[in-house]
Structure 1
C-alpha cells in the first residue's frame, strides 16, 4: 500500500511538472489540443470594422470573421468572382502611328510633349474588379455577455469565438479546408438544448434566395462592368470611345451610364455565382424563415458553406460559356455527406500543417505579452518591445499565403482573396510593377513552393494575351504585358496616366519568379516545360524593343520608372524617357536568365548567341552626382525626393546584379539612394525597404523600418504612412496584402541569403534579435536551413540538401565549402567558420 501511495504521489508530481512545462512553453491545452499561444491572434472585443475582422481561406474561398457574440457577420469571397468578361479588354491601342513622333520629341528633350502624345494614343482602359461574394449572418439568442474572446490560431488555421451568456459557455469554430473545398463552422455549448439562432445569406449584388430543407441557396450575378474611374474622369481624358458600355459613339453618356452595370444594362454579361449553406444539427429543430433558417434548442450545430462561380477560364465568357456553379456546390457537399466536422477538421489540419509547420521562428522576448489582445499590443509596441509580435507577423504572412494561394486557384491579388467592396481600391486585382510579385517573395524562401503555382499560371496565361498585344500594339514578336491585369488577363496598358500605366517590361519581372522557383527547387522538368518557354518569349520581345542610343548602347526607346517623375529643366517635369534604370535592370536579368537556362537545357544555341551579343551592348548602371544610383539614363532630379517606389534599385533587390562583393561602387550608390529616399513609406514600401536594408547587410536599419511598420492604424487614421490594422493586415493605407508578404520575405532575408551563389547565415541580424532560432528556411540549391543563435552570435546551423552537392556557407567574413549528401542533415557549429 505504501509503495502504491508513493507511485500515486510521483504520478501527481509528474503531471504538475508537465503542466508547468506546457505553460512555460507558451502553450495551453484545450479539448485535447496543444495550442501555441505565440501563434494566436487574440482579441477581447468583436470587430467593428472590416480591418479588425479575422481572415480564413482555403486558397479559393475566403471569409472575414467579425466575431460578434450575438450577431455574427462573416464576409465572403471566392477568388474567381470578378466583374466583366474576356471582352472587357480594350484592344484598340497601337503605338506605331505615333511612335516616330514620340522618338523625335524625346531626342529633342521635349519630354512633356512626348508624354502628351503617349497619354492620348498609347494607353488603354482600366481593368475589371475583384468582387465581394456575399455575407453570412447569425443572430443568436442570449444577452449579458461575459468572458468574451475571439482568436485566430494560425498554426492550425482555425478561428474561434468564446463567450458566456445566461450561465452557458458558447463556442464557435470556423475553418476553411483546402482538401474538402469547404468552409465549416461548428457551434457548441456546455449545456444541452442551449443553441438557438437565425441564419441567412446576403450579397451586395442582385441575388435570389432559395430555402430547401436544411439548406440555404443564394444565387446571383456579378456586375458585367465596373469602372473605378468617375465618368467625369473618362470624359476629361477623352476616353469615351474606350467604354462603349456607358458612352455612345458620339461621346455622349448612355441613359443608364454609371460605374457599375448589371445584367440587361450590359447585354447580360457578368459572372454567375452560387452559395449553398447546409446545416447539420444535434437535437433541436430547424424551420425556414423569410430570409433563411432558424435553429432552436440544439445541442450542437455544424454549418457547411460552399461557394462557386461560372468562371471557366480567362478566355471564356462566364455568362455564355461558364460552368454551372450549382453543380459544383452540389458535388462538394455530396462528398461531405457522411463526414463529421471532426473529420473535416482533422483533414484540414493535416493538410495545412504540412505546409505551415515547415518553418518555426522564435526570438527571446523580455516582455510577456501573449495574454494581451493584438490591437493593444500594437498600440503599446513603441514603448513595450514585443519580439513575439515580430515573429507572429512573419508567420502571419505564411498563413496568408497558404490561405490565399493554393494549386488550382487564382494568384493572390492586391488584397489576397479578401475584399468587401464592389469598387475596391485599385480594383483589388493585379498591379505588376511590384505588388503582384511582392506577394510571392516569401513563397520559395519560407518553404511554400507549392503556393507559387497560381502565380505561374497567371504568367502562362498572360503570355497568351501578351503575344497578341505585342503583335497588335507594337508589331513585335514575343509577348509583353504592362502595369495591370485581372482574371481576364488583359496585357494592354491601363488608362489615365502614363506614369503608372505605360510600363512594357512587366513580363521580365513576372518570369523572374519562374527562374527563382527552379533555383530553389532544382526542378528541371519545370524549367524545361514552363519556365524557359516563357522566359524566351519575354526576351524575344525585349530584343525587338531595344534601340541604340547616341553612345551606341542598347536602351529601351521609351518607358517610365514606376511611378516617379523627374525634372528635365528648372520648370518642367515628365515621367517618360529612354533607357530607364529599371527597364535595363529587368532586361539584363531576363537575358542572363535565358542564357543560363538554355545552357542547362542544352537548347537554342543560336538564340542564346543572339541574346549574348545584345546583352553586352546594354546600357550599364550609372552613378549620379549625388553619389546615388541613377534612376534614369540622364542624371535627372526626381520630383519627390522621398517617393515610395524605388524601382531603379531592382538590380539590387529582388535582382542580384548589384552586390557588395562583385560591384562595391554600385553597392555604395544603392546605399546613398536609400539614405536620400529616407525611411518613411507606405506599408508595402516599408516591406521593400526592409528587404533593401537586409541586402545591405544592415540588420539594425532593417529593424528600424520594422519598428516603423509596427504602428497601429485604424479606419479613422489620417496619416499617409503605413502600418498595421488591428487584424495585422498591412495598411498602405488602405489595406494592401503585399506589405504583409514583403515583411515576411524581409525577415527571411535578414536571417538567410543565397542570391550570391553562397548560403549566407545571419547576414543582417539586428541587435534586438540577439537570441533566437529559425528552422526550415530554403536556400537556392534546394537546401533546407536551420539556424540557432545566442547573444548575437551563431551557435549552430544545419543544412539538408535533396541532392549531392558542394555548397559555400558564409557567416560574417568567413566562408567555407561543404559537401552535402542527399537527404542527410549536416550540422555545423560556430567553430566550423574559424
Structure 2
C-alpha cells in the first residue's frame, strides 16, 4: 500500500469512527473507562480528601485507611429540630408604611434598621451527621496501596498488600436495594481478620446480636449556628425560647446544641443496622461491635433510617420506626450475594450515568496519575482529562445525592460531618439550591430533579401560610433559606442575607424548565402550573407603582450585596432591584405560557399579561453596565460574588445577543467590572455567564481558576477544588460542582433562545472532542463531534415530531425531526447557506 493510500485509509477510518461514535446513543452498561476514575496513593487525612458515595438517601465518605478505615455516614432526612422549630411571629404590616416612607425619602439605612428589628424570623435547623463506621484490620507494614472511586460504575475501592497478602475492599451505595454494601476480599484464604464498630457524635445506644450491630440514637432537638452573644446583640432572644427566658436572660442549660430532655424530648430518632456475612472464619461479639477472624471473604451490609415522617409531622411524637425500616431493607437481602447487589446497582446507575459521554482529545493522557497530583499540577500541565472528569463527577454527585423519593441536595449535597455545619447545610434559595439542579435537565438526568420539585410543592404549603400571616397576600412566598421542615419565613440576623421574598419565582422556574425539556403535559398540568400560579398570585399583590408608573417590588435586596448612596452611606434594601423584576417577569411569562398551553384561567392570565407590560424595564448605568438596582447605585464590593442582576442572562432567557443586543452588551460590561476572581460556586455561575456570552475562551479562563488546589489543612482563602474534587467555596459547597457541570454543557449546547445552538462557546483549548447525550429543550437528545475547532457532525434525536431551528457558527437552519429517528448534520449542511430556511 503506497503512502497516499495509507493516509487516505487513516482519515477514512477516523471519520467513520467519529460518525459512529456520534450516532451511538444507547447506554453501555459494560463500559470501563479509566478516565472516569479518581485515585490516590495515600488514605484520606481530612474529610475533603475522602471519597463520596451515595444512593440518593444514604451517603458515605470513605477515608480508605488500609489498616484503620473510617467511613463517615449520612442519611438525608436526619436534621435537628422539628416542624415547631419555625418562628412564625413575623408580620411586616405594622411597619410597612414606615419602611415605604423611608425608602421614598431615600433613607435606606433607616428603613433597613426597622426591617432588621421587625421583618426577620429566626435561623433554620441543621442537617446532621449520622455517625461513623470503623474497621481495624490485622496487618503490619503496607505496600502497593491505592484507593479509588470509579464514577463510571459508582463504586469505591481500596487495595493494598500486607504480610504477603493482597487485600481489596469494594464499597457501594445501592439505590435498588437501599443499602450500603462492602466486600472485603483477599488473595489468600483465612487471612481476613478485623474488628468493626459504629459510633456517632450524638447520644446513642449500641446493641450487638449475633452478626449484627445496631446503633440507636436521637438527633438534637435544637441547633443554633449563631452564638448566644450574637442573638443577644440583635435582641432576638424572644425568637429562641429553647435557650432564653421571656425576660431575655439565658436558661441554665443554654447552649447551641440541645438534646432530649433539654428540649422537651424533641429530636429525630435514628438507627443504623450493620450485618456481616462471612465466608469462613469466626464472628464474635465485642463490647461495642464485632470481631471477624480468619475469614476468606466478608460482606458488610449497612442500612440507616430515621423517624422522619414528613415535613409537617413531629419525628419524636409522630415518627416512623427506623428499626422496622432497617429490618425490612436487610431482610430482602438475606439470600442476595454481593455480586448480585453490585450487578443491580451498576445496572441502575448506568441507566442514568451512561446517557452522556464526553471526551476531549489531548496529546497527554494523565488518567493513570493520581487525582490530587493532577490537580496540584494543573496550572503547569493543563489537563483536559481533568476537565471531562469533573464534568462527569458533577453528574455522579447528582445521581448519588438526589433520587426519586429522597430529599433534595442541600449546600453540602448529602455529605456532612458537622453538628453545626457551614450555613446549616441549608437550602439556600437565592442561587445555591437551584444551582445544584442546573445540570439535571441538560445532562439528561431529569429523574434526579424529582426531590427538588417535592421541596417546591411542600414550600408552597408553608409559604401560603407565610404569605397570609406575614404579608396579608394571596399565593405563596418563601425567602432566603429553608430546611427539611420547610420554613418559609425569613431567617434572622441581617437583612442583607435574610430578607429576600423572591424564592418562589426562581424555584418554580425549574418546574417550567422540566416541562420544556420533557414535553410532559401531565406534569405541567398537575405539578407545575398550580405552583407557578401561586407564586404569581403573591407577586401580583406585592408589586407597587414607582413615580414613573412602572411596577416594582416595594422593598427587597439584590442578594447579599450592598450599595452606597448619599455621600458614603450604605444599605442593602431598596425598591425594584433588578433581580426582583427579572424573576417576576419570568414567573409571569411562564404562567401565561402554561395557561395558554393548558387552556385554563383566562381571566387570571389576562391580569398577569397586563401586569407584565407595566414591569420596570432593565436599565443601563453610566458605566455601561446593567444596573443592579432601580437606581444607578455603586456596589460597596465591586468584585462581589453574587451577580444577581444578570439573572435574565442566566439562568433566565430574557437577555441574548439576538433579542436584546444593548442589554447583552451591558451584561458583558457587568461581567468585566466584577472581574474573574470568585469563590468556588461563583466561578460556576461565571462559567455559565461567559458561555451565554458565547465567549468560550473567557469561560475556560474561569475553569482554569476553578482548577486550583485547595488544601483544607492550610486555612484556604480562595475558591477552587479540594483533593476529592469537591468544590471549595471555601469551605465546601457542592453547588460549585454542579455549576461547573452545567457550565460545560452550556459551552457545548444551548437551547434557551428557542434555537438548538451547537458549540456556542467552544474554547480554543478544546479543539477536538465529542459529547453525546445532552438534552435540548423540546426533549431532543444531541450528540456533537468536532475537530480543530470545527463541527464534524451533530446528531439530533427527538421524542416527538417537531420542527427545530439549529444554529452553528452564526448560521441557522430549520430541520423536521421524526420520533426516535436520528438526524445527522455536518459543517457542509450549514456552509451551504447563510440564510435561515
Q: TM range, normalised to the smaller chain?
A: over 0.9
Deviation (angstroms), 1:719: 4.3
Deviation (angstroms), 1:720: 2.8
Q: In 1, distance between residues paired with 2:220 and 2:396?
A: 31
1:605 aligned partner: 602
**CA-to-aligned-CA distance 1:333-389 (integer Å, 9 cap, x gap):** 001111110000000000000000000000011222112111100010001110000
* Equivalent of residue 96 in structure 1, options 80, 93, 108: 93
- Tell me, yes or no, if the aligned pair for 1:682 and 1:720 is still in contact at 8 Å: no
**CA-to-aligned-CA distance 1:718-745 (integer Å, 9 cap, x gap):** 4432100000000000000000000000
* Equivalent of residue 782 in structure 1, options 765, 779, 783: 779
1:110 aligned partner: 107
Q: In 2, distance between residues paired with 1:455 and 1:636?
A: 35
**CA-to-aligned-CA distance 1:459-495 (integer Å, 9 cap, x gap):** 0000000000000000000000000000000000000
Please show how residues 353-368 of structure 1 align to structure 2 within 5 Å.
Answer: 353-368=350-365
- Tell me, yes or no, if the aligned pair for 2:710 and 2:718 is still in contact at 8 Å: no
- Tell me, yes or no, if the aligned pair for 2:803 and 2:816 is still in contact at 8 Å: yes
Q: In 1, distance between residues paired with 2:548 and 2:300?
A: 69
2:44 aligned partner: 47
**Equivalent pairs, count:** 805
* Equivalent of residue 677 in structure 2, options 673, 677, 680: 680
Deviation (angstroms), 1:716: 2.8
2:328 aligned partner: 331
**CA-to-aligned-CA distance 1:230-281 (integer Å, 9 cap, x gap):** 0000000000000000000000000000000000000000000000000000
SS of 1:35's partner is coil
Please show how residues 196-207 of structure 1 align to structure 2 within 5 Å.
Answer: 196-207=193-204
* Equivalent of residue 293 in structure 1, options 269, 290, 293: 290
* Equivalent of residue 429 in structure 2, options 429, 432, 439: 432
Please show how residues 510-521 of structure 1 align to structure 2 within 5 Å.
Answer: 510-521=507-518
2:420 aligned partner: 423
- TM-score normalised according to structure 1 size: 0.96
2:240 aligned partner: 243
Q: In 1, distance between residues paired with 2:540 and 2:250?
A: 43
1:497 aligned partner: 494
- Name whichever of 665-674 and 823-832 sits farther off: 823-832
2:824 aligned partner: 827
- Tell me, yes or no, if the aligned pair for 1:367 and 1:384 is still in contact at 8 Å: no
Q: In 2, distance between residues paired with 1:679 and 1:123?
A: 33
Q: In 2, distance between residues paired with 1:547 and 1:717?
A: 50
Deviation (angstroms), 1:571: 2.0
Please show how residues 19-168 of structure 1 align to structure 2 within 5 Å.
Answer: 35-168=32-165
1:461 aligned partner: 458
* Equivalent of residue 648 in structure 2, options 640, 648, 651: 651
* Equivalent of residue 262 in structure 1, options 259, 263, 277: 259
SS of 2:135's partner is strand
Q: Does 1:558 align with 2:555?
A: yes
1:485 aligned partner: 482
**CA-to-aligned-CA distance 1:47-106 (integer Å, 9 cap, x gap):** 000000000000000000000000000000000000000000000000000000000000
- Tell me, yes or no, if the aligned pair for 1:221 and 1:273 is still in contact at 8 Å: yes
SS of 1:100's partner is helix
Q: CA RMSD in A?
A: 1.0
Please show how residues 172-211 of structure 1 align to structure 2 within 5 Å.
Answer: 172-211=169-208
Q: In 1, distance between residues paired with 2:426 and 2:415?
A: 11
Q: Does 1:169 align with 2:169?
A: no
Q: Does 1:725 align with 2:712?
A: no
Q: In 2, distance between residues paired with 1:278 and 1:167?
A: 29
- Tell me, yes or no, if the aligned pair for 1:95 and 1:474 is still in contact at 8 Å: yes
Deviation (angstroms), 1:198: 0.0
SS of 1:716's partner is helix
1:9 aligned partner: none
- Tell me, yes or no, if the aligned pair for 1:367 and 1:385 is still in contact at 8 Å: no
Please show how residues 210-609 of structure 1 align to structure 2 within 5 Å.
Answer: 210-609=207-606
Deviation (angstroms), 1:717: 3.6
Deviation (angstroms), 1:827: 1.0
2:637 aligned partner: 640
- Name whichever of 34-43 and 237-246 sits farther off: 34-43
- Tell me, yes or no, if the aligned pair for 1:548 and 1:555 is still in contact at 8 Å: yes
Following superposition, which runs of at least 4 residues in structure 1 exceed 2 angstroms of deviation?
32-35, 716-721
Q: In 2, distance between residues paired with 1:95 and 1:627?
A: 36
Deviation (angstroms), 1:36: 1.1
- Tell me, yes or no, if the aligned pair for 2:57 and 2:407 is still in contact at 8 Å: yes
Deviation (angstroms), 1:33: 7.4
Q: 1:34 to 1:96 in 2, by over 3 A?
A: closer
SS of 2:316's partner is coil
Q: In 2, distance between residues paired with 1:812 and 1:242?
A: 58
SS of 1:184's partner is strand
SS of 1:331's partner is helix
**CA-to-aligned-CA distance 1:613-654 (integer Å, 9 cap, x gap):** 100000000000000000000000000000000001001100
SS of 1:151's partner is strand
Q: In 1, distance between residues paired with 2:231 and 2:141?
A: 53
SS of 2:713's partner is coil
Deviation (angstroms), 1:829: 1.6
- Tell me, yes or no, if the aligned pair for 2:391 and 2:744 is still in contact at 8 Å: yes
- TM-score normalised according to structure 2 size: 0.96
Q: In 2, distance between residues paired with 1:718 and 1:640?
A: 23
Please show how residues 647-726 of structure 1 align to structure 2 within 5 Å.
Answer: 647-726=644-723
Deviation (angstroms), 1:35: 3.0
